[in-house]
Amino acid sequence: MIKMSSKPRMHSQLEWEAQRHEITRLYVAENMSLKEVMESMKIRHSFYANQRQYKTRIGQWGLEKKVKHHEMVAIVHLDRQRRMQGKLTSFRVRKRAVDPRKIQRFVRDNKILDTDSVSLYSTPSVISYTTCKQISPTNATRTEPKTSVPISELSVGSSIMEHSVELKGSPVDTRPSYSEKSLDFATEKSSVQESQYAISTQSKLESFTRDLPRLRSIGGDTSLMNELFDFSAAAKSTVKSANSALQTAIVGNRSLPTRGQTPSESRGMAVDSESEDELLETLESLLELAGRVEDQGKYEWSRVLLQRAVRLHHRRLGNSHPTTLDAIQALTRILRAQGRYSEAEKLLSGALKAFRETRGDSHADTLDCIGLLALVMMSQGRLNEAETQAKKALNIRLKFSNINDLGVAQSKNILGTVLASAGRHKEAERLHREVLNARMKILGREHESTIKAVDALAESLCGQGKYESMMGEYFNMLEIQTRTIGRQHPQTLSTLHSIAMALGEQGLYQESEAQYRQVIILKTSIMGPEHPHTLASMHNLAWILGQQRKYSESQLLSTCILQLKRRVLGPEHPSTLFTQANLIPVLESLGEDDEAEELARATLESRQKVLSADHPNTLASKIRLARLLQDKGDYVEAMGLYSEVLVVRKRVLGDQHLSTREVAKSLNLLATYMKEEEESIHSDAEDSESSE
């Protein structure tokens, strides 16, 4: 464990950048005072720095709350100039709203006269403004401006998508397990924060959400998905148009004035210097809304919003804009949550081509995109390709970055996740320990990304049967989360879910059942009974009940979950098919063999369609059906299924992999049964002939 200093010290640029998001969130979104921010960073992240150091960084990041004198002077004169044009204006400095009363006090206290020249004052770049409404120039000096709550005041930004995208668990684990993670692999983001949406925010989003019904229907439209996800066409056109009027009109979804129109005749047009800032704030709010909808488990709505955000980034800001990758990361996460792996791959492939052309092969965004692509390939069961991509990103980062760089740590984390999915847990453990050490050193023990590294390490320990060490890591996570974010926080509930899962892996089914029941009660009260995370815990409880031979209770719960998942996630969602597959052995144990076989065939057919024939989950369905047929005495069809699985396992995992050897053993055993039966039939025939 890294011992953190309890005194202020000089931090490196990298250390400050690592804490930048959290400091910005506390100082800007939460509107804390500087002293409160310093205290919070000290307690929660063991980050010690003095006030002067904080002020220096806040200035460099452009987060100052106080409006400077020359900025206020420029606002006053710009306001007067726009009033003479018949425009009421609300102002922002560094994306923070300026109270009109402060402007009036400044005019009064500094005795700025109406006769002062307006042409002598240039507008600083940190000032942006919005036209509230048109007024008559004759009334311009008598009407009070009305301000709206700026979108930047909301909790927006990388709370939805961190620079690092990690997966909690994988549906592609080759070890025999019937439990699933609480779908957190799809929602790697910070906590659900309750903030009030201002009326102005909602109105700004209307133009971007009014066509949601149309977008909702595009799920199966491949041509439209190609158009939406094709980043290569604009790869070389990353600079905004020099025509600010045209750009602003496009951004605002407004029409340009016709020839001869005056500004007052074209009320919809606002050719102001704030156009890019306005667009960025609107996009951030769109991402924020998508994140909140995602937190509610409404993945389809979130997907539609994020597709809109990605399209707007691509068309209006260009591929080189820093926030473009954020939108792509968020959409990729949702597509994976919905099991839409081919769409996620299409999106990332187009983005990767554009990033390579505009930013280069070694740029951080390019490497992040490669990492995301590796995770999508992993979800598709293409483990060799996923490993190749993950190693490529890591090797490039090691060539250009320090070994303790956070980007290097993220690439190691992705490679470790891929290796764990392939059952190579020892190699994964080594990588996850390196990630944990780097994050503890840079971010501190209690940082969210550090806790996620602990979780990944615990999973790799579980895969090796190191249960004591695994439980120790989980309880360390739980202690930190309970103390810092509370026991009812979604991330804490995810850890409780993992602990219940770990107990089940050890065969401690009664303890696991009790833990799952507690988690389900909490998740139901906080997230709702139909939230995907709640359904994941219910799914695992049903499996635990089956392990204790409580088959009737397990069947009842599994059937209920299956109906809910079909309605909430869809009948062919990977998680729905996972629950469907787990119901098969329960039906078999209850003696309902025909129903079990029918469900096994339906599950296999759906997985072949959704996941591909070579996906590990599809292979698991083939094995399940083969065993049912074997028990039924239908050896020929069972032999064919085992043979198909063995060919794929040898090609993907190798001859010596445990999963490959298990299938080969089952195939040899079945061949023995068939030979014995053939000999028995032949013997019976001879006995019959001799008796005649």
Helix, coil or strand: residue 66: coil
Cα atoms in the Cβ-side hemisphere of radius 13 Å centred on 341 = 22
pLDDT beyond 70 at 197: no
Radius of gyration of the chain, Cα coordinates, nearest whole angstrom: 30
Q: Is the dihedral angle over the CA atoms 493, 499, 500, 501 positive or is it negative?
A: positive
What are the residues whose beta carbons fall under 8 Å from the beta carbon of 83, sequence distance 6 or more?
89, 135, 137, 140, 141
Phi, psi of 321 (to 5 degrees): -70, 140
What lies within 8 Å, CB to CB, of 409 at 6+ separation is 164, 434, 435, 438, 439, 453
User: Taking the mean position of all CA atoms in its chain, how far away is CA 201?
Assistant: 23
Here the tokens at position 511 are: 């303890």
What's at 178, amino acid-wise?
Y
Sheet holding 87-93, edge to edge: 96-97, 87-93, 127-134
Q: Is-contact 321 313, C-beta < 8 A? A: yes
Distance set, CA 117 to CA 71, 81, 109 (Å): 16, 10, 18
Q: What is the mean pLDDT of the chain?
A: 74
As a 3-state breakdown, the chain gives helix, strand, coil percent values, each rounded to 5, of 65, 0, 30
CA distances, 23 to each of 16, 32, 35, 48, 190 (Å): 9, 10, 12, 12, 14
pLDDT of residue 299: 82
If one compares 680 and 272, the residue with the highest pLDDT of the two is 680
Q: How confident is the model at residue 582 (pLDDT cuts 50, 70, 90)?
A: very high
In angstroms, the first-to-last Cα distance of the chain is: 84
Separation CA 249–CA 313 (nearest Å): 16
pLDDT digits (tens, 9 = 90+) for 423-482: 899 999 999 999 999 999 888 888 888 999 999 999 999 989 899 999 999 999 999 989
Look at strands 87-93 and 127-134 and give their pairing.
antiparallel
CA 123, CA 78: separation in Å to the nearest integer?
8
In DSSP terms, 129 is beta-bridged to 91
Burial class (CB in 10 A: 0-12, 13-18, 19+), 260: exposed
161 by Cβ neighbours in 10 Å (0-12 / 13-18 / 19+) ranks as buried
Q: What angle do CA 183, 189, 195 make, to 5 degrees?
A: 115
H/E run at residue 29: none
Q: What is the pLDDT of residue 685?
A: 63
Mean pLDDT within 255-270: 37
Residue 688 pLDDT? 63
pLDDT at residue 365, as a whole number = 84
CA distance 379 to 340: 10
The neighbour count for residue 133, using CB atoms within 10 Å, is: 12
Token pair recorded at residue 486: 């509370």
At 591-633, the pLDDT tens digits run: 999 999 999 999 999 999 888 888 888 999 999 999 999 888 8
Q: Which two tokens stand for residue 306?
A: 């994020």
Name the DSSP letter for residue 315: I
What one-character DSSP code corresponds to residue 172?
T
* Residues counted in the chain: 692
Query: Are 563 and 528 within 8 A, CB to CB?
Result: no
Q: Do 579 and 554 touch, CB atoms closer than 8 A?
A: no
Report how far apart, in Å, the C-alpha atoms of 647 and of each of 37, 328, 660 are: 58, 36, 9
pLDDT band at 86 (very low <50, low <70, confident <90, very high): low
pLDDT tens digits, 28-50: 777 788 888 888 888 888 888 88
With a CB cutoff of 8 Å and minimum separation 6, the contacts of 580 are 562, 599, 602, 603, 606
Are 376 and 389 spatial neighbours (Cβ–Cβ below 8 Å)? no
3-state secondary structure of 76: helix
pLDDT score of 277: 66
Q: At what angle do helices 658-691 and 635-653 cross, to 10 degrees?
A: 160
The per-residue pLDDT for range 123-160, each reduced to its tens digit, is 666 777 777 654 444 444 434 333 333 323 323 232 22
User: What integer pLDDT is reported at residue 620 of this predicted model?
Assistant: 92
Lowest mean pLDDT among 318-332, 385-399, 536-550: 318-332
What count of other Cβ atoms lies within 10 Å of the Cβ of residue 352? 23
> What pLDDT score was predicted for residue 21?
83
Largest pairwise CA distance in the chain: 129
Q: What is the pLDDT of residue 246?
A: 29
Token digits of residue 365: 């965004």
pLDDT tens profile 384-396: 899 999 999 999 9
Does position 84 have pLDDT exceeding 80, yes or no?
no
Q: Dump pLDDT digits (tens) for 472-519.
A: 999 999 999 898 888 888 889 999 999 999 999 999 999 999 999 999
Q: What's residue 291's pLDDT? A: 79
